[in-house]
């Protein structure tokens, strides 16, 4: 196991110690628990936004805590939910009187714990909490439909939910308004991924699955959940075309629609290759008359050293464009107003 | 006979031992479609619940259960960890303010557990979960008590029903958790969460046996 | 070869097309040549700063072209120098009348071409060009000494040279002043790396070297140049301690010195592991009474999918601190004033 | 006899063919300590220099050499590509404004090449580089011309000297490029850049031979 770690048991706390040591003016932890991370800067009157989830996806989730985005994040062990108590501690710390919005990915363990935390916040601390659950992975469930439960996994597209909701909260919008923004983004974002190689959970010490030297898996989840098809390696352009087909079909797009694009490296894939991918996405969108409002390329939601990438498209209107363009300053993600 | 706060503490100890002894069994079962953590989370989770209860001098039955549940939820925030914690915490809310219940009220004790899990997890019977192991046990308990059978007999019947419930999950279609992602593939396997329900009732049976002696 | 590419021959131009498509308002190319990248925004009166080098190291080199940092970059094939002509084209484009500073790494091919480009700029366009060559890798040559040629390779530490010189140029300092800043940073920055796995140059199609499943190489260069020692895998803390020993010895540090730290992932190493690394660096500096002025953790100079990392320390004084703290806005690196 | 712009164009063609034929030899030599690109860069580089000269109707000897050098530097910005381009461009600067030189001036032609490479690369004789192949050839040329030998004889002697010079790089300690990073290990090997000098002089010899016929 070629990992740059010490005792696998200490992987998460040591990583967190490193983060607090590296960014002492930007992030802090509450209740003496490294797993309860908050923005070191307070913004009175603002709706607090919290997220949380398992470790192993940096910069997701904690990396988006900072000005213009999230206020707090509870952190679990690798690929494991943090506890409701930890979420509750973060909730108490970030509530500024305007209530707290939970935004997290559609995974069983996270849902149960965030629900429990929301109850604790209500019963024990009288804090109003609302929740928005992101499920953007088109490879993992039926298309969204009015009144139907979304069974799709939350993946890199949650970045757009954080970004827009964070910008709305920074403008001191109300909890209901910020929630409405988050829901609007969830309704308009679609993602699809491809994996080329597995990752190793440090405590487990062996890969979670095997892919032959000439194989890939289209639609695999960020914890190695099974995808849509496993097949022989194909060219970058072919991968992108196949993935874009599924994405574009899922939320019908029309000529002259505008989108924001996110190319997300899974951890082991060079940035060069991600730009080769972006090139083909841009070509496809061009050919359909769909305009790119803004493109993000890099690592946003990883699976440690997994090789592969995902593509997320967010259909934008004037409101979302304005929210996307707002500045952000977190230790892991910075953006100037554009 | 009465079921007191001291009994709850003993029952939690029995459950912790039960999960410890069956950790490998649960790991293997969860390994088929899940992430193999169930053996560890259940033994760690019930261990911390039992230790929390043992370490507290709380006499209140409800508060003891609630505290044990919270301890479990902190220790193992996995799906089943949180669900089992929710069960204990629901018992806590229901029996807050009293220090014992009649044996005849034990079905309500398990019903509270069931309700806590169901309101947290929002699964239906037949969804191939923990609930499908626990539900038949509660029903068996109720009939046995209604028939005026002694509690030792009730516990034996409940344990048998839970085991049947566990076995009956084979053939069901999973709708939740990791197995839920497998579709029809999931039918062939036994549900690991229902195995935990089975173990809880086996534990309850041996707790009652021991208590009767 | 598990790469997300099309025809290996088109790897670099396709990557560049992706970059221009993704960042149309931020970067542009000159002379019809994708390999000649410049900041899309002009800053009249400012000293122009150009860099250049082979591809395969993103975000190095072109990723640091933008406001507050560099003005242009010429881009070669993977691990190959761009041509003097390309450098010259960039030079003409970014000269704003205040002259141009070349900052690049200490590699034979780059030196020859930048020297030739400087001559062309002088002879053919009457542009004053000065050059600063970064050689920060302590694993690759004798310690720096007055009047002696620096034989060390330029690696991730060049980021600090760009950052400080870029900030000085943004303040409209003169060419001599900006050059003096760059030289000061070069004199005060030290880097050391470790590699755990090789990378594959697309056109070559096989790894440039082999490392067994339980081996690492301390001091390896970013093109796979041989390091100081090859050995069995050790813990993250042991790697860091060994590397910090060499770095701290090379430019003696005293108690109460202040440093900026750069932890650089080589491409295939998860960000989580980089923070485990930072934790130990911080501990060692703490134990010696050396204060961290600012820490950067992430990918700054990669070798495509190579696994491993490097540590760079820059000894800072008030001048360098002020320059480091200045804002930057490039497509690949953004920083708010701190 | 005179060496004209047309001769230069022919010589460049011969060199391009020479590098093409010996590409694998250079690849292997560069593969020992370098990055195996030398065969490709030299054949591509001299090909583009020759094509540039062939395609231009420039009559000026210097300008033709300069243009050929620039073409090479654009085509192959590797170490040797840039150095060879610098050599041709230095010839260009030296012989700008004339359309031919005397054969007896040919040592100056090669000296300009040498100076161009040296002022670009800043290596010294004995540093195990291209220069160690070219320098003895220039010396041999000078002696041969001073001795009044015919140019065919001069070319043969120069080629022999270049080959000796190439062989003599074995044993030298490399100070530049990738081999320079190897320290004492580099002594055992022949320098690939000096092999290029050898090939240039072998090419010159056959150019002179052909021209004499
Ligand atoms: N919503 C739910 N309600 C009740 N039980 C559930 C629910 N979701 C999953 N389960 C039970 O949890 C078991 C898996 O638990 P666990 O191994 O802790 O999951 P994970 O490791 O995925 O967090 C399943 O076998 C099922 O019985
Ligand atoms: N400074 C220099 N001056 C003259 N020749 C040099 C110099 N540096 C390297 N060389 C020559 O270049 C040869 C290697 O050239 P090349 O394969 O193009 O290098 P690279 O592939 O590393 O760019 C060496 O064998 C040596 O003869
Ligand atoms: Mg990475
Ligand atoms: Mg499990
Ligand atoms: Mg990477
Ligand atoms: Mg070479």
For A145-233, where are the E strands, in sequence order? 189-197, 215-218, 229-232
Touching B (3+ Cβ pairs <8 A), the chains are A
Question: Beta-carbon neighbour count of residue D93 at 10 Å?
Answer: 16
Radius of gyration of chain A from its Cα atoms, rounded to whole angstroms? 19
Whether residue A13 sits in one domain with residue A148: yes
Q: How far is CA D102 from the centre of its chain?
A: 19
pLDDT of A283 above 90: yes
User: Which residues of chain B neighbour A55 with C-beta distances below 8 Å?
Assistant: none
Q: Are residues C290 and C259 in the same domain?
A: yes
Under the banding of pLDDT at 50, 70 and 90, the label for residue B102 is: very high
**Which pLDDT value is given to residue D136?**
98
Q: Are the beta carbons of D118 and D138 closer than 8 angstroms?
A: no
- Smallest CA–CA distance from C139 into chain D, residue: D181
Same domain assignment for residues A72 and A199: no
Give the least confident one: A237-246, A313-322, C138-147, D101-110. C138-147
Task: Return the residue of C nearest to D86 by Cα.
Answer: C116
Size of interface A-C (CB pairs under 8 A): 181
pLDDT at D180: 77
Evaluate the CA torsion angle C296, C68, A59, A277 in order and state its sign.
Answer: negative
Q: Is A116 on the interface with B (CB under 8 A)?
A: yes
CA of B142 to the centre of ligand 1 (A): 26
Kindly give the residue spans of alpha helices, DSSP state H, lying in B22-78.
23-33, 38-55, 61-75
Cα–Cα dist B80/B108, whole Å: 21
Pick from A213, A271, A338: CB nearest C58: A271
Give the model's confidence band at B173: pLDDT under 50 very low, under 70 low, under 90 confident, else very high. very high
Query: D79 and C109: CB-CB below 8 Å?
Result: yes
pLDDT at D142: 98
C13 shares contact with chain D (CB less than 8 Å): no
- Cα D35 to ligand 6 centre (Å): 4
| pLDDT computed for residue A312 by the predictor | 98
Q: What is the mean pLDDT of chain C?
A: 96
Instruction: Report residue D155 CA to chain centroid gap.
Output: 14
Are D and B close enough to touch, i.e. 3+ CB pairs under 8 angstroms? no
CATH number of the domain residue C30 falls in: 3.40.50.10440
How many domains are contained in chain C?
2
- Local confidence band at A294 (pLDDT 50, 70, 90 cut-offs): very high
Residue finishing a domain among C188, C213, C232? C188
H-run or E-run covering A307:
strand A307-315
Cβ-defined contact of A115 to B78 (cutoff 8 Å): no
Ligand 2 pocket test: pick from C105, C106, C108 the residue with the most ligand atoms within 8 Å of its Cβ: C108
Q: Which residue of A has its CA nearest to C10?
A: A276
Pocket of ligand 2 contains residue C108 by CB under 6 Å: yes
Q: Are residues A122 and A249 in the same domain?
A: no
Helix (H, G, I), strand (E, B) or coil at A293: strand
The residue length of chain B stands at 213
Which three-class secondary structure state does DSSP give residue A8? helix
Min distance C84 CA to chain D CA atoms (Å): 7
C49 CA to centre of ligand 6 in angstroms: 28
Distance of alpha carbon C311 from alpha carbon C262, whole angstroms? 6
Rounded to whole angstroms, how far apart are CA atoms C3 and C139?
30
Q: How confident is the model at residue A227 (pLDDT cuts 50, 70, 90)?
A: very high
d(CA C300, CA C266): 8
Question: What ipTM does this complex have?
Answer: 0.92
Assign residue A194 the CATH number of its domain: 3.30.1180.20
Domain boundary among C188, C209, C230: C188
- The whole-number average pLDDT for the span B145-152 is 97
State the pLDDT confidence band at B32, using cuts at 50, 70 and 90.
confident
User: Which residue in B has a C-alpha nearest to residue A86's C-alpha?
Assistant: B74
Asked, for residue C334, whether it belongs to a domain, the answer is no
Considering the domain architecture, whether residues A154 and A168 belong to the same structural domain is answered as yes
Whether A156 is in a domain gets the answer: yes
Is C272 in contact with A59 (Cβ distance < 8 A)?
A: no
Ligand 2, atom 6, residue with closest C-alpha: D129
Average pLDDT across chain A, whole number: 96
Ligand minimally distant from the alpha carbon of residue C302: 5
Q: Give chain D's contact residues with C (Cβ, < 8 Å).
A: 35, 37, 70, 73-75, 77-79, 82-83, 85-86, 120-121, 176-178, 180-182
- Cα dihedral angle (C58, C62, C66, C71), rounded to 10 degrees? 160
Backbone angles phi, psi at A176, to 5 degrees: -65, -40
For residue D181, pLDDT over 80 is answered with no
- In this complex, which of C21, C236, C282 lies closest to A4 when CB atoms are compared? C236
Residue C294 a catalytic site member: no
pLDDT band for position C337 (cuts 50, 70, 90): very high
Residues with CB under 5 A from ligand 4 (ion): B 30, 34-35, 37-38
Q: Mean pLDDT, chain B, as a whole number? A: 95
Q: What is the pLDDT of residue D179?
A: 80
Please give the average per-residue pLDDT across C308-317, as a whole number. Answer: 98
D177 lines ligand 2 (CB under 6 A): yes
| pLDDT for position C105 | 98
Ligand nearest to C-alpha A79: 1
Q: Say yes or no to pLDDT of A1 above 90.
A: no
Residues with a CB atom less than 6 Å from ligand 1: A 108-109; B 30, 34-35, 37-38, 41, 78-80, 83, 117, 121-123, 129-131, 176-178, 191-194
Report the C-alpha gap between B35 and B12 in whole angstroms: 25
Lowest model confidence (mean pLDDT) among A136-145, C180-189, C260-269, D196-205: A136-145
Cβ partners under 8 Å of residue C300, min gap 6 = C59, C60, C156, C159, C262, C264, C333
Task: Using only the alpha carbons of chain D, give its radius of gyration.
Answer: 16
Checking if the pLDDT of C279 tops 80, the result is: yes
Q: Which pLDDT value is given to residue D31? A: 84
Q: In this predicted structure, what is the pLDDT of residue D1? A: 84
Task: For A172-211, give one letter per residue: b (16+ CB within 10 A) or e.
Answer: ebebeebbbbbbbbbebbbbbbbbbbbbbbbeeeebbeeb
Residue A330 lies in a domain: no
Looking at beta carbons, which residues of chain C come within 8 Å of A196? 2, 4
What is the distance between the alpha carbons of residues C153 and C107, in angstroms, rounded to a whole number? 7
Asked if the structure places residue C328 within a domain, the reply is no
Does the pLDDT value for residue C92 go beyond 90? yes
Per-residue pLDDT, A330 = 98
Q: What are phi and psi of D97, to 5 degrees?
A: 95, -5
Residue D183 has pLDDT above 80, yes or no: no
List of domains in chain D:
2-211 (1.25.40.340)
- Residue pLDDT, tens place only, B103-129: 999 999 999 999 999 999 999 999 999
Which pairs with CB-CB distance under 8 Å and at least 24 residues apart come from B179-185? B179/B33, B179/B34, B179/B128, B180/A108, B180/A151, B181/A140, B181/A225, B181/A226, B182/A226, B182/B33, B185/B33
Tell whether the model's pLDDT for residue C278 goes beyond 80: yes
Question: Token pair for residue A312?
Answer: 């997320």
| Identified catalytic residue from A23, A35, A43, A223 | A223
* C333 is a domain residue: no
pLDDT at D106 over 80: yes
Write down the H helix ranges in chain D.
5-21, 23-33, 38-55, 61-75, 79-94, 106-121, 130-146, 151-168, 177-180, 192-212
Which residue matches tokens 């190489």?
Answer: C217
Nearest CA to ligand 2 atom 17: D38
Name the residue in chain B with its Cα closest to that of A75. Answer: B77
Do residues A171 and A208 both lie within one domain? no
Band the pLDDT of C252: cuts 50, 70, 90. Answer: confident
d(CA A31, CA D163): 77
Are the C-beta atoms of A123 and A230 separated by less than 8 Å? no
- Compare CB distances from A269 to C4, C278, C295 and report the shortest one's residue: C4
* Residues A292, A241 share a domain: yes
pLDDT given at position A282:
98
Q: Does C274 touch chain D (CB under 8 A)?
A: no
Report the distance separating Cα C242 and Cα C230, nearest Å: 13
Distance separating alpha carbons of residues B52 and B72, to the nearest angstrom: 9
Same domain, C175 and C237: no
Instruction: Encode chain C in three state secondary structure.
Output: CCCCCCCHHHHHHHHHHHHHHHCCCCEEECCCCCCEEEECCCCCCCCEEEEEEEECCCCCCHHHECECCECEEEEEEECCCCCHHHHHHHHHHHCCCCCEEEEEECCHHHHHHHHHHHHHHHHHHCCCEEEEEECCEHHHCCCCCCCCCCCCCCCCCHHHHHHHHHHHHHCCCCHHHHHHHHHHHHHHEEEEEEEEECCECCCCCCECCCCCCCEEEECCCCCCCCCCEEEECCCHHHHHHHHHHHHHHHCCCCCCCEEEEEEEECCCCCHHHHHHHHHHHHHHHHHCCCEEEEEEEECCCCCCCCEEEEEEEEECCHHHHHHHHCCEECCCCEECCC
C226 has a chain D CB within 8 A of its CB: yes
Q: Are residues C27 and C72 in the same domain?
A: yes
DSSP A200: B
Across the interface, do B181 and A225 touch by the CB < 8 Å criterion?
yes
pLDDT (mean) for A255-271: 97
Supply the pLDDT for residue C173.
Answer: 98
Q: How far is CA C88 from the centre of its chain?
A: 20
Segment (H or E) for B116: helix B106-121
| pLDDT at residue B34 greater than cutoff 90 | no
* CA–CA gap between residue A30 and residue A196 (Å, rounded): 38
- Which residue's CA is the closest to the ligand 2 atom numbered 20? D79
Token digits for C285?
A: 């500096």
What integer pLDDT is reported at residue A222 of this predicted model?
A: 93
Residue C338 lies in a domain: no
Confidence of residue B185 (pLDDT cuts 50, 70, 90): confident
The Cα B159–Cα B135 span in angstroms is: 11
Cβ of D203 less than 6 Å from ligand 2: no
Give C225's contacts in chain D (Cβ within 8 Å).
178, 181
Give me the pLDDT at residue B126, please: 96
Residue C336 resides in a domain: no
Q: Nearest CB to A237: which of C6, C270, C307?
A: C6
Place D83 in a pLDDT band, splitting at 50, 70 and 90. Answer: very high
pLDDT tens-digit readout, C142-157: 998 888 889 999 999 9
Chain C residues touching residue D74 (CB < 8 angstroms): 83, 85-86
Distance between CA atoms of residues A248 and A254, nearest Å: 10
Phi then psi for A133, rounded to 5 degrees? Answer: -105, 120
User: Cα–Cα distances in Å, from C308 out to A305, B164, C202?
Assistant: 11, 53, 20
> Of the listed C35, C43, C57, C294, which one is catalytic?
C57
* Cβ atoms of D137 and D110 closer than 8 Å: yes
CB C208 within 8 A of CB D31: no
Residue with the two structure tokens 């707790």: B207
Look at residue B58 in the predicted model and tell me its pLDDT: 95
Inter-chain CB proximity A83 and B86 less than 8 Å:
no
Could you tell me if residue A236 is inside a domain? yes
Q: What is the pLDDT of residue D34?
A: 78
B180 vs C274, residue with greater confidence:
C274
pLDDT at B177 over 90: no
Task: Give the confidence band of A319 by pLDDT, cuts at 50, 70, 90.
Answer: very high
| Span from the CA of B133 to the centroid of ligand 1 (angstroms) | 13
How does residue A265 score in pLDDT terms, banded at 50, 70 and 90?
Answer: very high
Cβ neighbours for C46, distance < 8 A, ≥ 6 positions apart: C71, C96, C98, C169, C170, C172
pLDDT digits (tens, 9 = 90+) for D161-177: 999 999 999 999 998 88
Q: Does C206 touch chain A (CB under 8 A)?
A: no
One domain, residues C206 and C272: yes
CA–CA separation, B165 and B128 (whole Å): 10
Give per-residue pLDDT as tens, A164-220: 999 999 999 999 999 999 999 999 999 999 999 999 999 888 887 889 999 999 999
At residue C320's C-alpha, the angle toward residues C316 and C326, to 5°, is: 130
A282 is catalytic: no
- Strand-pair partners of A207: A200
- Which of A274, A317, A276 minimizes the C-alpha distance to A297? A274
pLDDT digits (tens, 9 = 90+) for C169-186: 999 999 999 999 999 999
The contacts of residue C8 (CB under 8 Å, 6+ apart) are C202, C203, C205
User: Which comes out higher in pLDDT, residue D207 or B180?
Assistant: D207
Answer with the one of A160, A188, A216 that is the final residue of a domain. A188
Residues D81 and D72: beta-carbon distance below 8 Å: yes
- Residue-level pLDDT at B110: 98
- Residue of chain C nearest D83, judged by CA positions: C112
Both C108 and C154 in a single domain?
yes
For A284, the token pair is 């496809």
Domain that holds residue A98: 8-188
Same domain (yes/no): C143, C22? yes
């Amino acid at each position: 196991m070629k990992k740059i770690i010490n005792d696998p048991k200490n992987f998460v706390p040591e990583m967190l110690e490193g983060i607090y040591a590296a960014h002492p003016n930007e992030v802090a932890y509450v209740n003496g628990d490294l797993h309860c991370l908050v923005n070191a800067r307070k913004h009175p009157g603002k709706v607090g936004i919290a997220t949380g989830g398992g470790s192993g996806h940096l910069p997701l989730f904690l990396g988006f805590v900072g000005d213009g985005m999230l206020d707090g994040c509870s952190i679990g062990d690798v690929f494991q939910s943090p506890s409701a108590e930890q979420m509750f501690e973060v909730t108490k710390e970030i509530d500024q009187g305007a209530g707290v919005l939970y935004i997290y990915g559609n995974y069983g363990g996270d849902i149960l714990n965030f629900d429990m935390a929301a109850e604790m916040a209500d019963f024990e601390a009288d804090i109003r909490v609302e929740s928005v659950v992101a499920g953007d992975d088109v490879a993992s469930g039926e298309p969204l439909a009015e009144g139907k439960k979304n069974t799709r996994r939350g993946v890199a597209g949650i970045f757009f939910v954080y970004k827009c909701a964070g910008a709305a909260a920074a403008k001191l919008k109300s909890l209901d308004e910020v929630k409405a923004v988050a829901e609007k983004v969830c309704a308009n974002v679609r993602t699809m991924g491809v994996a080329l190689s597995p990752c190793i959970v440090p405590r487990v010490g062996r890969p979670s699955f095997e892919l032959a030297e000439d194989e890939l898996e289209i639609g695999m989840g960020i914890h190695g959940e099974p995808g849509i098809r496993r097949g022989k390696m194909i060219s970058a352009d072919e991968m992108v075309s196949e993935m874009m087909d599924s994405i574009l079909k899922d939320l019908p797009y029309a000529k002259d629609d505008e989108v924001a694009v996110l190319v997300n490296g899974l951890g082991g894939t060079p940035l060069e290759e991600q730009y080769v991918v972006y090139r083909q996405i841009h070509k496809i969108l061009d050919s359909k008359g769909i305009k790119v409002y803004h493109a993000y390329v890099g690592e946003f939601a990883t699976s440690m050293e997994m090789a592969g990438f995902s593509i997320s498209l967010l259909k934008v209107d004037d409101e979302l464009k304005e929210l996307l363009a707002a500045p952000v300053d977190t230790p892991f993600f910075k953006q100037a107003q554009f | 006979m009465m079921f007191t706060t001291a009994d709850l503490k003993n029952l939690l100890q029995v459950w912790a031992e039960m999960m410890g002894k069956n950790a490998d069994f649960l790991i293997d079962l969860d390994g088929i479609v899940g992430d193999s953590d169930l053996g560890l989370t259940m033994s760690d989770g019930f261990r911390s619940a039992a230790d929390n209860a043992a370490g507290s001098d709380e006499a209140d039955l409800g508060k003891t259960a609630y505290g044990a549940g919270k301890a479990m939820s902190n220790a193992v925030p996995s799906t089943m960890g949180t669900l089992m914690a929710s069960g204990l915490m629901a018992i806590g809310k229901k029996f807050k303010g009293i220090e014992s219940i009649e044996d005849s009220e034990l079905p309500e004790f398990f019903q509270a557990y069931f309700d806590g899990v169901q309101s947290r997890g929002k699964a239906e019977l037949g969804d191939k979960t923990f609930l499908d192991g626990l539900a038949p046990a509660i029903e068996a308990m109720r009939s046995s008590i209604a028939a005026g059978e002694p509690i030792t007999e009730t516990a034996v019947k409940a344990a048998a029903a839970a085991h049947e419930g566990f076995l009956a999950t084979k053939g069901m279609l999973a709708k939740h958790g990791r197995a839920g992602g497998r579709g029809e593939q999931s039918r062939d396997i036994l549900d690991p969460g229902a195995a935990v329900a089975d173990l809880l009732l086996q534990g309850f049976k041996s707790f009652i046996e021991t208590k009767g002696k």
